Structure 1
Amino acid sequence: MSTETIVKTVTSAVGQLSVQPAQADSTSTVQSEDTYKYQHLLPAFDNNKKYAPLRAFDHVDPGHRALSHPNPISFLGNATRVTEMTPNLGTEVEGVQLLSLSHQERDQLALHVARRGLMVFRNQNDFIDSGIDSYREWGSYFGRLHIHPTSGHPLNAPELHLVYRDAHSTFNFELDDRITTTLWHTDVSYEVQPPGLTTFFLVAQPSTGGDTLFVSTVSVLKSLSAQFVAFLRTLKAVHSGIEQADHSRSGKRGGVVRREPVETIHPVIRKHPVTGEEALYINKQFTKGIVGLKREESDNILNFLYDHVAKNGESQARVHWTPGTVVLWDNRVTAHSAIVDYKESKERRHGVRITPQADRPVSALEA
């Protein structure tokens, strides 16, 4: 099968879909698409399917149940290695198979991800190869699965968000007129109920590069002065999905908008519903302004906070991807950024994100 014939349009029960090409597999060897193991997970873009606005729902965080457990980290009992990645963020685990966790152990997992912000599980090939229905079941345990309004998804599986780049295509939200691809953000924070515990893994990766940066927005907040934090607690900001939708409407990233974009007001500091910890909740991709402040006032505060997040190395961790790695993070207490440093290699980076929604953000002043 030639590269030119790989790009195709197929008709399915969900409408007209464009299924896009790719080039290199997880071992960075070039092969035709009919032998690519994860062809069923290639990005598809439905040009006809539209979704109604998201409705509010009652979210019950599984981590709550683990709070009363006498040993809430017993799910790590069979681990062969547990490493704290940094003092403030991240735990790396070997020897625990995610697919084998009981419901009680999943509750403990949710609590530990909330407390540590980030967990990296190695040697999870069984999880990665378990298939789309398994991904749905896994994610649904932690919340209502989010359908992204603009990103690619596997054919007939809109609940899975795909991150994709190869020698010919990119469906990442990248701006080529910037000097860096680093863009700290929390996922789809413009939603009324943004994501909580999120699961992500790569099914193909470049031979080097393509790491992901994470930052603890709890730790970042703690490094600010008490007086300034007290002021920030009184503020709310607008998070907008309009720019992302317009980016797609311009013909980029697949060119689809499945659900009309929304703008939502969230507190600048939110309180985690399980741990009670406060975290800074702004991000440069979606936060457009602070409510009630004049533009210059808002811009100065937000730019200071963006700069603080970007430069706060004490609060950051870096995930180096190896085959079989599955990463879980809590979008309520972290931000992250992909590192697109592998462009010149022309290799494929193909990731799958399972994104359950959680609670509506509330501040400590509201709780």
Structure 2
Amino acid sequence: MPPNTTTSVESVSEQFQKLNLKQLAREKGTYQIFPKISYPALEPFEHHDVGKLGDPKKASLYDSAKTVFDLTPTIGTEIHGIQLSQLTDQQKNDLALLAAERGVVFFRDQDIDPYQAVELGRYFGRLHIHNTVGHPEGLPELITLLYDEKNPDTAKYFEGKSAADGWHSDITYENQPAGLSILKIDTVPSVGGDTLWASAYEAYDKLSAPLQKFLEGLSAVHTGQVHTDNAKRTGQFIRRDFVDSVHPIVRTHPVTGWKGLFVQPGFTKKIVGLNNRESKTLLEYLFNHISGGHDFQVRFKWTEDTVAIWDNRSTFHCAIFDYFGHGKRHGWRVTPTAERPYYDPNSKSRRQDLAEKAAKQ
């Protein structure tokens, strides 16, 4: 049995095998429900990362694929010829390791459905149920992404914001935030709608040594206030209170052992121990460092039925809302959670570790 499998009270497949979310989105438009159900606070749990069971050579993936290629030197790998709906346990382990190392992995022309994605997500960790966002009826583990060009309020909301404000890692306001995220986009506009990812490893490595040392002794507050504000703006029910969590600014990844920067404009509020002016100044610098780090980013152009699987512990991402008037964009996301973020003073940076391993060869 996979390390993170949980048993459903009722089989999700019995409820949802007949639902075609792509068809619903294209023909009906909005189909999500926003139930007024109160959820209890999340309880701590011990996370078992299957990436630690991965083969360093990822042979189970690479030997089965038609093509595997990196999109940039530091982040992003694309794999052709494998269906995520048919992965073996060893392929899942190798995928978790690959995502930990490369940040984000892309698979085009995928047949995986929402039920299969939920089961896949459970293999990687305890699934997160969002506090406010809509989901298909009976499937709260799924976050639906549906932005319709015909909704003027949606376009108005995003046009009033800077694209750089959208950089984030998923649900970092939780005490145990997301590990991997699984996102399938099945409907794309005629142009636009790309997504950016940035490497947290390289974001750390690009900082000067004195700044690295200073940041390694600091923590920051992460808050879900943006979701609270959006719920109030749209009148949505908040099903679980949003919490503030304190996480290290430099985080050690449990699988790679590499250091990564762990702040972003989406949810990071304040640096603990600094006064407001110092905190604001330093966070603005780090946010600009991430958004302007084009040499450690990958910009991905979606095609219909593409899946991205990324590791939130080693990446940031930012969706580009530039396509209003050019069609509808629809997809869904499953979000396994992982360990509480920590910093190990004996951990190494990505560059340091790879250089030491190369020197031994």
Would the TM-score normalized by the shorter structure come out above 0.5? yes
Q: Letter of the aligned partner of 2:224 in structure 1?
A: G
Instruction: Name 1:17's counterpart in structure 2.
Output: none
* TM norm structure 1: 0.84
Unaligned runs of 5+ in 2: 1-20, 348-361
Does 2:31 align with 1:42? yes
Does 2:220 align with 1:273? no
Deviation at 1:243, TM superposition (A): 3.1
Q: Letter of the aligned partner of 1:158 in structure 2?
A: P
Tell me, in whole angstroms, the C-alpha distance in 1 between the residues paired with 2:77 and 2:56: 21
Q: Of 162, 168, 171, which aligns to 1:188? A: 171
Instruction: Name 1:80's counterpart in structure 2.
Output: 66
| Closer/same/farther in 2, CA of residues 111 and 228 from structure 1, 3 Å limit | same
Tell me, in whole angstroms, the C-alpha distance in 2 between the residues paired with 1:136 and 1:258: 20
Q: Of 118, 124, 129, which aligns to 1:142? A: 124
Tell me, in whole angstroms, the C-alpha distance in 1 between the residues paired with 2:89 and 2:30: 27
Q: Of 17, 40, 45, which aligns to 1:57? A: 45
Unaligned runs of 5+ in 1: 1-24
Tell me, in whole angstroms, the C-alpha distance in 2 between the residues paired with 1:167 and 1:216: 31
Tell me, in whole angstroms, the C-alpha distance in 1 between the residues paired with 2:285 and 2:59: 37
Q: Letter of the aligned partner of 2:289 in structure 1?
A: H
SS in 2 for 1:250: helix
Deviation at 1:205, TM superposition (A): 1.4
Instruction: Name 1:325's counterpart in structure 2.
Output: 306
| Closer/same/farther in 2, CA of residues 362 and 325 from structure 1, 3 Å limit | same
Q: Letter of the aligned partner of 1:147 in structure 2?
A: I
Deviation per CA, 1:75-129: give whole Å up to 9, x if none: 22121111110000000111111122111110011001100001011121x21xx
Tell me, in whole angstroms, the C-alpha distance in 2 between the residues paired with 1:105 and 1:220: 29
Deviation at 1:365, TM superposition (A): 3.2
Q: Of 307, 323, 326, which aligns to 1:342? A: 323
Tell me, in whole angstroms, the C-alpha distance in 2 between the residues paired with 1:145 and 1:221: 28
Instruction: Name 2:201's counterpart in structure 1.
Output: 218
Q: Contact 1:43/1:164 (CA < 8 Å) preserved in 2?
A: no
RMSD of Structure 2 on Structure 1 (CA): 2.4
Q: Letter of the aligned partner of 1:89 in structure 2?
A: I
Tell me, in whole angstroms, the C-alpha distance in 1 between the residues paired with 2:145 and 2:25: 20
**Larger helix share, 1 or 2:** 2
Tell me, in whole angstroms, the C-alpha distance in 2 between the residues paired with 1:258 and 1:174: 23
Tell me, in whole angstroms, the C-alpha distance in 2 between the residues paired with 1:35 and 1:234: 49
Instruction: Name 1:121's counterpart in structure 2.
Output: 107
Tell me, in whole angstroms, the C-alpha distance in 1 between the residues paired with 2:305 and 2:162: 31
SS in 1 for 2:92: helix
Q: Letter of the aligned partner of 2:244 in structure 1?
A: E
Instruction: Name 1:21's counterpart in structure 2.
Output: none
Q: Contact 1:163/1:352 (CA < 8 Å) preserved in 2?
A: yes
Q: Of 205, 212, 216, which aligns to 1:229? A: 212
Deviation per CA, 1:6-46: give whole Å up to 9, x if none: xxxxxxxxxxxxxxxxxxx97xxxx9x6973xx69932211
Instruction: Name 2:115's counterpart in structure 1.
Output: 133
Aligned residues with identical type, % of pairs: 39
Deviation at 1:171, TM superposition (A): 7.0
Deviation at 1:323, TM superposition (A): 1.3
Instruction: Name 1:151's counterpart in structure 2.
Output: 133
Instruction: Name 2:232's counterpart in structure 1.
Output: 249
Deviation at 1:172, TM superposition (A): 9.8
| Closer/same/farther in 2, CA of residues 207 and 34 from structure 1, 3 Å limit | closer
Deviation at 1:251, TM superposition (A): 2.0
Instruction: Name 1:18's counterpart in structure 2.
Output: none
Q: Contact 1:289/1:298 (CA < 8 Å) preserved in 2?
A: yes
SS in 1 for 2:166: coil
Tell me, in whole angstroms, the C-alpha distance in 2 between the residues paired with 1:239 and 1:287: 4
| Closer/same/farther in 2, CA of residues 142 and 40 from structure 1, 3 Å limit | farther
* TM norm structure 2: 0.85
Deviation per CA, 1:253-293: give whole Å up to 9, x if none: xx221111100000001000010011100010111100010
Tell me, in whole angstroms, the C-alpha distance in 2 between the residues paired with 1:90 and 1:174: 30
Tell me, in whole angstroms, the C-alpha distance in 2 between the residues paired with 1:173 and 1:355: 28
Between 175-184 and 313-322, report the one with greater CA deviation.
175-184
1:261-300 equivalent positions in 2, closer than 5 A: 261-300=242-281
Does 2:79 align with 1:93? yes
Q: Contact 1:181/1:340 (CA < 8 Å) preserved in 2?
A: no
Deviation per CA, 1:38-77: give whole Å up to 9, x if none: x69932211x2110111111100000111xx474343221
| Closer/same/farther in 2, CA of residues 265 and 172 from structure 1, 3 Å limit | farther
Deviation at 1:203, TM superposition (A): 2.0
Instruction: Name 1:7's counterpart in structure 2.
Output: none
